[in-house]
Amino acid sequence: ARLFSCRVRWSVSGRAADLRALTSFDLHDQGGRARFVTPNGRQFAVELHSEDWPFSSGRDTLILLLSEQGRAEPLATSWARVDAGVISMRLGWIALRCAAVEPDRPAVGS
């Protein structure tokens, strides 16, 4: 498992140009989870996974999920190579960026 440091930026106005720091937290890439609340009371959860790419066996990926409380499906997902040092998503009114605390991951033989 790798540890990632994540930042959340949020816009009161809903415009990307107005994004401001909201919170930060650390997640590991083996199903790490964090919750946060926006100033207007919306409750969100973030998850980070390293899982097999669902459409092609043998293609591991790093997956970031953003969910809002009360919804069955994630609000947004983002993916990157499993060895990526950064994974992010930007929806205009909210942005998440997670960077590996130790970005260099040694190659693993299969």
Report pLDDT digits (tens) over 50-64.
Answer: 865 555 556 678 999
Label residues 27-55 b or e (16+ Cβ within 10 Å = b).
bebeebebebebeeeeebebbbbbeeeee
Q: Which residues of the chain register pLDDT less than 70?
A: 51-59, 103-110
The reported pTM is 0.84
| Backbone dihedral angles phi then psi of residue 109, each to the nearest 5 degrees | -75, 150
- DSSP H/E element including 95: strand 94-100
Looking at the DSSP assignment, which residues form a beta bridge with residue 104?
Answer: none
Looking at the DSSP assignment, which residues form a beta bridge with residue 90?
Answer: 95
pLDDT at residue 60 in the model = 78
